[in-house]
A and B are shown apart, each in its own frame.
Chain A
Amino acid sequence: MAKIEESLFSAEGFDKRMAAGKFWKTMMTEYWIPKDINFLWAMGVVLAVTFSILIISGIFLMMYYKPDIGMAFDSVNYTIMQEVAYGWLFRHMHGVAASVIFLIIYIHMFTGIYYGSYKKGREMIWLTGMLLFVTFSAAGFSGYMLPWGQMSYWAAAVITNLFAGGSLEAWGLVEWIRGGFAVGDATLTRFFMLHVFLLPLVIIMVIVVHFYTLRIPHVNNQESEEIDFDVEAEKYLAGNKKESKVIPFWPVFLSKDFAVVGVFLIFYFYLVFYNYNFAMDPVNFDPANAMVTPAHIYPEWYFLWSYETLRGPFFDMFGMKAMDIGLIIFGFAQASFMLVPFIDKDPDILPAFKRPKFHIWFWVMIVDLLVLTVYGKLPPTGANAWVGFYATAGFLVLFAALPFVTKADAKARGAL
């Protein structure tokens, strides 16, 4: 080690010990972002801000919440909502942010699919991102249990029942997860632990990896132009800022992000103050009751599409039980988007508008997911059941078709 004479409490001394300047350059002022991007590239920072809101509001809720089946409901609906100063605000901020973060995750995800930002060097970004989607889903589900209302209880009952594995009847696994014969006190307390400690810890670690996976392959751009970042960075540093195709992450790119974050926060706080009810299901204001199932139970809006794939196949087919088919498709739906980089057979990175058949595929997928979402909320009777069935079948067909669709585009372009 070189001998360091400067005091720790001087700028040079600190820098010599910690290489703070070099770190700041690598992560911020010389982390190059293409100029040719739009507001959709700000969703990552919007997500980081929303996640911070969840952590901060969650810390305040945790100080009064009681993870005990005798006290949980009142600790939320009486203590936090009525006694704690601004308790209602922290709860509504937490509930609305939990809902809105999924909206932004979906936008973030489909921006990636649209612009082909998941392939040929960027697979790790995609995979860690999908891992975040799964862990956020687990965090959303475990958090939904905590107010211990009727929806909390029955969502917990139904989702833990998935682990019985249909006809496999892995009964022991369900009871192990619940810590009892039915969802009860042990279940609530262990899901509280998952929600406030283990899952946030995992999420934070995966976010760090997710950021890192982006650092080497760099951010994609609107035209998917291949940029030589070293050459463009030199131009920028030499003062040819106009000519250069890149900008530094800080302060230029982030200042644009903050503008988008500003617009987002106006929308978010509008929801928190004037329209929080969409995240507060009225059924969940009845205390949990193991002896009465609510007339209709449905998950929060962001789980509806995959929930509909679970109940889409409502009759036995191919010698299999309807329930087992549903479970298999549901399991596939959770992991399905992880496959996208590997079943996209187009050798080029291009945005959807330069891949005509993939462009159609993209919008049909969006429409199919919207149909699944809408019908996931409706009771599964009569014609609704058939719409759900065909939308579920359509979802599978779209995944099966992706390799052929992307190959056809590449052939038409002469790339294959």
Chain B
Amino acid sequence: MSNKTNRRDFLGMSFAAVAAVGGAASLVGMKQAWDPLPSVMAAGFTTIDLAAIELVPGKPQTFKWRGKPIFVLLKTADMENFDGDLVIDSKRYTVAIGLCTHLGCIPAWKANMWKCACHGGEFNASGVHTFGPPPKPLVIPPFSLEGTVLTLGNTGDESKAMIAARA
């Protein structure tokens, strides 16, 4: 402290420092009050048994995980192979979060692609964007695989590989 700093300045600065620390701490608390609750975070796991759901090739089914739709498509022979497919016993699957990567509408399946009604975005059978405003492929949810059972929310090697293939 310089010689010119007197007692009043010291009081003023102390007051400002205490108020700043208190203010910052309250902001942290208020920010955390808006975070997703522990119960919401804990409810983030869903299992899908690919052997049990009786997928028809070329017709995706939709499941719900963390309040979001999950598309599971068993590819037909004439759909192009993609490095990012989930391959189990020579069957090729597309597994993706069914929300348009533009602004989050659910694209609808039209014969061989997903088309989004909101802003016209299109995704092919591998979930890769082919037209319109979506900036990237459909997002791959983190999942682990045991046999034919997917556990969504649990990051495993298969989902990592699918995500890497689309990056």
Contact = CB atoms under 8 A, between A and B. Distances in A.
Interface of A: 154, 157-158, 161-162, 166-167, 175-184, 186, 190, 290-297, 311, 313-314, 321-324, 326, 379-381, 385
A75 to B, nearest CB: 21
A177 B40 CA distance: 14
A59 B37 CA distance: 30
Given A161-B104, A385-B120, A291 B64 contact: yes
Nearest to B107: A293
B35 A176 contact: yes
Interface of B: 31, 34-37, 40, 44, 62, 64, 66-69, 102-106, 108, 116-120, 132-136
B111 to A, nearest CB: 17
Contacts of A290: 64, 67-69
A154 B134 CA distance: 17
A314 B108 CA distance: 19
A195 to B, nearest CB: 16
B40 A181 contact: yes
**Secondary structure dominating the interface of B:** loop
Contacts, number: 92
Contacts of B64: 290-291
Contacts of A292: 106
Contact of A322 (B68, B105, B133): B133
A175 B44 CA distance: 13
Given A161-B104, A176-B35, A177-B34, A293 B68 contact: no
B120 A381 contact: yes
Nearest to B116: A293
Contacts of B31: 176
**Among B102, B106, B132: residue with most chain A CB under 10 A:** B102
A311 B69 CA distance: 24
A291 B62 contact: yes
B106 A291 contact: yes
A350 B143 CA distance: 65
A17 B136 CA distance: 68
A380 B106 CA distance: 16
Contacts of B40: 179-181, 184, 186
A167 B66 CA distance: 22
A326 B36 CA distance: 29
A162 B135 contact: no
A176 B34 CA distance: 6
A324 B117 CA distance: 19
A396 B120 CA distance: 23
**Among A181, A314, A322: residue with most chain B CB under 10 A:** A181
A385 B118 CA distance: 12
Given A166-B135, A181-B68, A293 B105 contact: yes
A162 B67 CA distance: 18
Contact of B135 (A291, A296, A322): A322
Contacts of B102: 323
A180 B67 CA distance: 9
Ranked nearest first, the 7 interchain pairs of A and B with the lowest CB-CB distance are A182-B67, A181-B66, A321-B135, A161-B104, A293-B106, A293-B105, A158-B103
A167 B135 contact: yes
A314 B120 contact: yes
A314 B119 contact: yes
B67 A380 contact: no
Given A158-B118, A181-B40, A182-B66, A323 B34 contact: no
Contacts of A294: 117
